[in-house]
Structure 1
Amino acid sequence: MKKWFTALPHHDYAQKFSFSVVYALLASISVNVFYQPGQIYSSGITGIAQILNTLSHNLFGLDIPVSLWLLLLNLPLFIFGWFAIGHKFTFFTGITVVLTSLFMQIMPEEVLSTDPIICAIFGGAVMGAGIGYALRNGLSSGGLDFVTIAMRKRTGRTIGSLSIFFNILIMAAAGVLFGWQYALYSAIAIFVSGKVTDAVYTKQKKMQVIVITRHPDRVIHNVQKSLRRGITIINEAEGAYNHDKQTVLLTVVTRYELPILRQAMKSADPKAFVSIADNVQILGHFYEEEL
């Protein structure tokens, strides 16, 4: 732990902490302003914490807050994340979870609407934006994010689709315990949250890039200086119109890396022809930065 902690630049501490604060605020707004007033159950561990909060109140008369359940449920998953994903990622996720629990506890429940559909849509959108923002900046909301990230590395599926799959269980539990209308509203919130997460967390979206250039060496040098990506070279490609010889370069990048690629191409060969195919599926090894 000491090795990676001391190697991390000090300004990165402040950045990570600020990202944690933003997520904690968004998650607290989602739960306290939309989910709780609309009786909507969130995705992931937050949804399980809400269910346990309702059960403890209805069955035993104990008002154990959602924030406390959130902390308790995350403890075993921190251990899993420490060994399965990464130390730095788990450490800062722990800070994020503590801040989220604190903000949920101190932020008052402000009722903007009791319409469950409105609460589900806007609550899901705010929660999904928070989760995607956290993941995009190397953090996590904790809980099932540890499991979905580990599975994404093995299966290649998106974070949002995996979250939707796991959260079907939460939706079913809400339906059995509190009524199927709450399951349907919670399903809307979980679906919206998953889609917004995928829209914000662009590092998982892969794009195939084809470059036709007269200056392949310069393009390869600039791209690989900026990105850790392999490039396939096809020499002596012939154009059908002028029958001139050019070089075709093939690579795959993430949507998050696309602006970096554009800048590298602009400086290397602004006249190159570049074709980009969105959301391609990859079979085989594709390098992804460690969290």
Structure 2
Amino acid sequence: MAENEMILDPELAAEQKRKAKHRKKVQAYIKKYVSLFIGSIITAVGLEIFLVPNNIIDGGVVGISIMASALTGQPLGIFIILFNLPFLYLGYKQIGKRFAFSTTFAILSLSAWTAYFGPVEKLTGDLFLAAIFGGIITGLGVGLIIRNGGSLDGTEIVAIILDKKSSFSIGEVVMFINLFILSSASLVFSWDKAMYSLVAYFVISKMIDIVIKGLDESYAVMIVTENHEEITAAIMARLGRGVTLLHGEGGYTGDPKKVLYSVVTRLEVDKLKEIVMEKDEASFVTINPVHDIVGGMFKKKAIH
């Protein structure tokens, strides 16, 4: 009997591990779609209570949809769905079905919530306040959707595809398309509405960055040094950060090199530079922003 239990134990442990992994996957899936749903609600509030009633548009497909709705009198949500359909197909073919499904869910949710908030009276008729607060709220919602693997804007899908096939970056393609769309607002509404739309677009873009990157940005640091032991000890002791040691080789000399890799917050960057220069003035340091961190023991520690 004891032998049978001993034999079954590894199988039971494997089954429990499999169930735990499945449970985490389901929880992550639920969290993702709840976030997409909440993001669509927030976006609809920004659009229907601030931007749309004041004839201020966002960029991309949503901006085109706002103008089409104003010209035809039809609900905004209908145009958001219709204009995004060809881009959803492109996204499915070129990027992947997960992205397409997440984006479809976000677009359908946004369309439903714009219909719900459409009849609600606008909070302000001041165009500047509408552009600022509408931009903040809309950017918060769109950022939450993008952070969870979705999108509301077909122009981003086009930009991702063109980025792979041309010398233009995603940001350059999106900016070019949106400048054209925002300029078109002057023909549908007026030049002052077009300029307020540009203000709103700028606020939305900055808010999206904040949601995706966070207020307290993190940076990945790589240090090529001959004095890796002292620098490692100093970073761990004075910043409380972990350090990974990589083995490299000089491209010209062929000499072995030690490369230190660590992640620090924006407030810790200057202190890290000070530590490195103090220990080895001949070291080479590169610092790059990190948009997200998963796993590990990355927590804020006091600088001293």
Q: Say yes or no: TM over 0.5.
A: yes
1:53 and 2:53 aligned? no
Residue range with higher mean Cα deviation, 149-158 or 173-182: 149-158
Equivalent position of 2:37 in the other structure? 21
- Report what 2:229 is aligned to: 214
Distance change (3 Å), C-alpha of 1:74 and 1:240: closer
> Which one-letter code corresponds to 1:141 in the other structure?
L
**Is the Cα–Cα contact under 8 Å of residues 236 and 247 in structure 1 kept in the other structure?**
no
Q: 1:13 to 1:151 in 2, by over 3 A?
A: same
Partner of residue 82, structure 1: 92
SS in 1 for 2:61: helix
Q: How many residue pairs align between the two structures?
A: 247
Q: Is structure 2 residue 230 aligned with structure 1 residue 194? A: no
Could you tell me whether the CA contact under 8 Å between 1:232 and 1:251 is conserved in 2? no
Residue 149 (structure 2) pairs with residue 138 (structure 1): yes
Query: For the residues of structure 1 that align with 2:155 and 2:109, how far apart are their CA atoms?
Result: 17
Aligned to 2:124: 113
Is the contact between residue 20 and residue 134 of structure 1 (CA under 8 Å) also seen in structure 2? yes
Instruction: Kindly indicate whether the alpha-carbon contact (under 8 Å) linking 2:99 and 2:150 is maintained by their aligned counterparts in 1.
Output: yes
Letter in 1 for 2:157: F
C-alpha distance in 2, partners of 1:34/1:217? 51
Aligned-partner Cα distance in 1 for 2:67–2:258? 60
Cα root mean square deviation, aligned: 4.2
**Conserved 8 A contact 2:247-2:258:** no
Partner of 2:74: 64
Mapped contact 1:116–1:185 kept (Cα < 8 A): yes
Give the 3-state SS of the residue equivalent to 1:70 in structure 2: helix
**CA-CA distance at 1:37 after TM superposition:** 2.3
Structure with greater Cα Rg: 2
The answer (yes or no) to whether the contact 2:228–2:258 under 8 Å persists in 1 is no
Which consecutive residues of structure 2, in runs of 5 or more, have no partner in the other structure? 1-21, 236-241, 250-256, 261-275
AA paired with 1:214?
A: E
TM-score (norm 1): 0.69
| 1:185 has 2:221 as partner | no
Q: Which runs of 4+ in 1 moved over 3 A?
A: 148-159, 161-165, 205-208, 210-213, 215-219, 230-233, 239-243, 246-253, 258-263
Local SS of the residue matching 2:293: helix
Q: Which of 167, 171, 184 does residue 173 from structure 1 map onto?
A: 184
How far did residue 231 of structure 1 move? 7.7
1:117-143 alpha-carbon deviations (Å, 9 max, x no partner): 111111112112222222222222242
User: How far off its partner does 1:177 sit?
Assistant: 2.5
**SS of residue paired to 2:184:** helix
Residues 87 and 251 from structure 1, CA distance in 2 versus in 1: closer, same or farther, beyond 3 angstroms? farther
Contact 2:230–2:279 (Cα < 8 Å) also in 1: no
TM-aligned CA distance change 1:162 to 1:199, over 3 Å: farther
Q: Return 67-76 or 148-157, whichever deviates more.
A: 148-157
Are 1:9 and 2:64 counterparts? no
The percent identity for this pair of structures is: 24
- In the alignment, the residues of structure 2 paired with residue 17 and residue 179 of structure 1 have an alpha-carbon distance, to the nearest angstrom, of 38
- Judge conservation of contact 1:52–1:69 (CA < 8 Å) in 2: yes
Contact residue 232 and residue 243 of structure 2 kept, 8 A? no
CA distance in 1, matches of 2:86, 2:292: 31
Gaps of 5+ in 1: 1-5, 57-62, 225-229, 272-291
> How far, CA to CA, are the matches of 1:92 and 1:55 in structure 2?
30
The match for 2:135 is 124
Q: Which residue of 2 aligns with 1:235?
A: 258
Q: 2:50 aligned with 1:44, yes or no?
A: no
Q: Which amino acid aligns with 1:47?
A: G
- Tell me the distance in 1 between the aligned counterparts of 2:279 and 2:57: 62
Q: Which residue of structure 2 lines up, in the alignment, with residue 284 of structure 1? A: none
Match in the other structure for 2:273 = none
How far apart are the structure 1 equivalents of 2:89 and 2:243?
38
Q: Render the CA deviation track for 1:128-187: whole Å, top value 9, x for unaligned.
A: 22222222222222422322344566768575x654432111111110232211111111
Note closer, same or farther for the CA distance 1:155–1:194 as it changes in structure 2 (3 Å cut): farther
User: What does residue 292 of structure 2 align with?
Assistant: 256
In structure 2, how many angstroms separate the alpha carbons of the residues matched to 1:242 and 1:193?
Answer: 43
Q: What letter is aligned with 1:13?
A: Y
